[in-house]
């Protein structure tokens, strides 16, 4: 018979609840598409592997719920600290303006000038459609923003700040960046390796601005810009994706 002892009480600490629940929820999100009832629901969209859009938006909405809304509710109702202690407030603190502006300009600037030929157009954009009018570009951007709002709160708010309170800044950064890198492994070693370093920067931005909002804005713009450049790159290579 399993008996819960004081030696295992650490599992009930906020930091462990955050880590374990995040891993559990992410696994549901990642493998959820293979569940029979999810496949049945997505079947309503009548899409195929070379032409799909609604299923991508469905998956991003699911990601927002699993990786954003549920962690937010856990932090709000189950954790000892105020929800504001998990980075949901607007940036503040000494030097916050510089921690917001400088990384924003550098990272978004690099995303803009990055050669399109380095983008994997076999994967990006996730929405596989022949036509990309402004309306579709805007809708895609909105669903990216919805998903990444939940994603960044969970990783840089929920998990990161609970780890900072339990273990200190640099252990929390290591934990967070390793998780972030592992999440990107399926996209290739290069992207996973880059994610680790970007994760460190996002954690520092979040810590010194007391908010996950800057990391969210930067991440969302990176994703949106990447998709726009991927569409243009595919068009230049006479791909099936055109504008």
Q: pLDDT of 147-205, one tens digit each?
A: 999 999 999 999 999 999 999 999 999 999 999 999 988 877 888 898 999 999 999 99
Provide the residue ranges of all domains of the chain, joining segments of one domain with +.
12-236
pLDDT value at residue 138: 96
72-86, 87-101, 179-193: least confidently modelled range: 179-193
Name the average pLDDT for the chain.
88
Whether 163 contacts 18, CB under 8 Å: yes
State both tokens at 40.
């049945």
Report residue 6's pLDDT band, with 50, 70 and 90 as the boundaries.
low
Report residue 242's pLDDT band, with 50, 70 and 90 as the boundaries.
very low
pLDDT digits (tens, 9 = 90+) for 48-62: 766 789 889 989 999
pLDDT digits (tens, 9 = 90+) for 99-138: 999 999 999 999 999 888 788 887 888 898 878 999 999 9
pLDDT value at residue 243: 46
Mean pLDDT across the stretch 16-29? 95
With 90 as the cut, is the pLDDT of residue 36 above it?
A: no
pLDDT value at residue 238: 57
Angle formed by the axes of helices 14-31 and 70-77, nearest 10°: 160
């Amino acid at each position: 018979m399993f008996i819960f002892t004081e030696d295992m009480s650490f599992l009930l600490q906020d930091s462990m609840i955050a880590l374990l629940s995040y891993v559990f929820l992410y696994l549901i999100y990642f493998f959820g598409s293979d569940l029979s009832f999810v496949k049945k629901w997505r079947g309503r969209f009548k899409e195929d592997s070379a032409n799909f859009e609604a299923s991508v938006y469905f998956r991003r909405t699911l990601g927002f719920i699993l990786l954003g809304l549920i962690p937010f509710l856990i932090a709000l109702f189950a954790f000892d600290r105020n929800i504001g202690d998990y980075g949901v407030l607007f940036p503040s603190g000494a030097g916050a303006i510089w921690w917001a502006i400088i990384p924003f300009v550098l990272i978004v600037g690099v995303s803009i000038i990055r050669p399109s030929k380095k983008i994997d157009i076999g994967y990006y954009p996730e929405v596989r459609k022949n036509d990309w009018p402004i309306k579709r570009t805007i809708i895609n951007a909105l669903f990216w923003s919805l998903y990444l709002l939940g994603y960044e709160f969970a990783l840089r708010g929920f998990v990161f700040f609970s780890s900072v309170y339990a273990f200190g800044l640099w252990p929390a950064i290591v934990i967070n960046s390793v998780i972030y890198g592992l999440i990107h492994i399926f996209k290739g070693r290069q992207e996973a390796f880059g994610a680790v370093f970007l994760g460190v920067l996002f954690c520092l931005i979040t810590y010194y601005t007391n908010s996950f909002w800057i990391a969210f804005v930067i991440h969302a713009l990176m994703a949106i810009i990447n998709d726009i450049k991927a569409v243009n790159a595919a068009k230049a290579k006479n791909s099936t994706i055109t504008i």
